[in-house]
């Protein structure tokens, strides 16, 4: 199959400090495909919206009137994207857009429908932060793997890439509004028997002081979402 365009979906909520730099990095990322940038502002109130108004000529910008959650923003991005390949890019600086070529490699080779960027099976630099987050990630990935039958190393990764055909299969079934979108996407990939690959990526995690939003409540919610989307579907 020929792939001509990649859509980069960027859900953003109160990211005025990092947004200009991540947009610049996405724009600068060299790819053998036409590039479309779709940014969903999820009801920001810190000046993010005003910054995004400067990019309306170069990016597709969608404004939510109120905060609805990362899952809602990603689902909206999937609907607005027109690319043959679609990648989710967080608005912070934890993930490096210059690794897009690595991420889309298995798709361009015709081997994969979906690619996850793993922070744990990687030769690239990875910032060391919270032990509790590491254990939580391993736990939810383990439970997800038990119920999906997959053997992922990093289910919660922010770098997930899909072909257009894969999105068309899973999008009608997506319901998650917040961070439950990560286990829901994985459940859908497994339920539709999509070909999934992992590639190692770098990771520059940030602290809560630097703006990290996910917390222990989201970890507990993730376990419920894994059960919900794999068993009570």
> Hey, is 177 helix, strand or coil?
coil
Once rounded to an integer, what is the mean pLDDT over residues 17-21? Answer: 93
Tell me, what DSSP letter sits at residue 171? G
What is the per-residue pLDDT across 172-215, written as a single tens digit (0 to 9) for each? Answer: 999 998 889 999 999 999 999 999 999 999 998 755 565 555 66
d(CA 94, CA 92): 6
d(CA 227, CA 106): 29
Please, are residues 163 and 113 in contact by the beta-carbon 8 Å criterion? Answer: yes
Once rounded to an integer, what is the mean pLDDT over residues 219-230? Answer: 85
d(CA 152, CA 113): 15
pLDDT reported for residue 208: 56
Once rounded to an integer, what is the mean pLDDT over residues 30-39? Answer: 96
Once rounded to an integer, what is the mean pLDDT over residues 14-27? Answer: 94
Predicted structure pTM score? 0.91
Alpha helices in the chain (DSSP H): 19-28, 48-52, 70-80, 100-108, 131-148, 164-170, 181-191, 216-230
Handedness of CA 75, 81, 87, 90 (dihedral sign): negative
Domains of the chain by residue range = 5-230
Average pLDDT, the chain: 91
What is the per-residue pLDDT across 43-92, written as a single tens digit (0 to 9) for each? Answer: 999 999 999 999 999 999 999 999 999 999 999 999 999 999 999 999 98
Phi, psi of 15 (to 5 degrees): -125, 40
Q: In CATH, which superfamily holds the domain spanning 5-230? A: Spore Coat Polysaccharide Biosynthesis Protein SpsA; Chain A (3.90.550.10)
C-alpha distances in Å from residue 139, one per residue of 133, 136, 144, 188, 203: 10, 5, 9, 19, 19
d(CA 219, CA 136): 7
Handedness of CA 205, 19, 157, 73 (dihedral sign): positive
Once rounded to an integer, what is the mean pLDDT over residues 124-130? Answer: 70
Residue 144: pLDDT band by 50, 70, 90 thresholds? very high
Is the pLDDT at 112 greater than 80? The verdict is: yes
Exposed e or buried b for every residue in 129-142, given b needs 16+ CB within 10 A? eeeebeebbeebbe
d(CA 106, CA 129): 30
pLDDT reported for residue 197: 98
Please, are residues 36 and 5 in contact by the beta-carbon 8 Å criterion? Answer: yes
Give me the percent of the chain exceeding a pLDDT of 90: 76
Instruction: Give the containing element (helix H, strand E) for 199.
Output: strand 196-200
> Hey, is 149 helix, strand or coil?
coil
Burial of 177 (0-12, 13-18, 19+ CB in 10 A): middle
Once rounded to an integer, what is the mean pLDDT over residues 144-166? Answer: 96
């Amino acid at each position: 199959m020929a792939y001509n365009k990649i859509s980069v979906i960027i859900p953003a909520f109160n990211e005025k400090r990092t947004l200009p730099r991540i947009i610049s990095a996405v724009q600068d990322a060299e790819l053998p495909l036409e590039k479309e940038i779709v940014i969903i502002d999820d009801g920001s109130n810190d000046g993010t919206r005003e910054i995004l108004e400067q990019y309306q000529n170069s990016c597709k910008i969608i404004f939510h009137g109120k905060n609805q959650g990362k899952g809602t923003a990603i689902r909206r991005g999937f609907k607005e994207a027109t690319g043959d390949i679609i990648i989710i890019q967080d608005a912070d600086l934890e993930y490096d857009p210059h690794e897009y070529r690595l991420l889309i490699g298995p798709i361009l080779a015709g081997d994969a429908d979906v690619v996850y960027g793993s922070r744990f099976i990687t030769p690239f630099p990875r910032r060391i932060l919270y032990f509790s987050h590491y254990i939580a990630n391993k736990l939810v990935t383990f439970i997800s793997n038990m119920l999906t039958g997959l053997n992922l190393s990093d289910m919660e990764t922010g770098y997930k890439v899909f072909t257009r055909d894969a999105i068309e299969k899973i999008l009608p079934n997506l319901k998650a509004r917040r961070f439950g979108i990560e286990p829901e996407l994985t459940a859908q990939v497994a339920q539709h028997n999509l070909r999934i690959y992992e590639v190692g990526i770098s990771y520059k995690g940030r602290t809560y002081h630097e703006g990290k939003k996910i917390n222990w409540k989201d970890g507990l919610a993730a376990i419920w979402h894994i059960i919900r989307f794999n068993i009570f579907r």
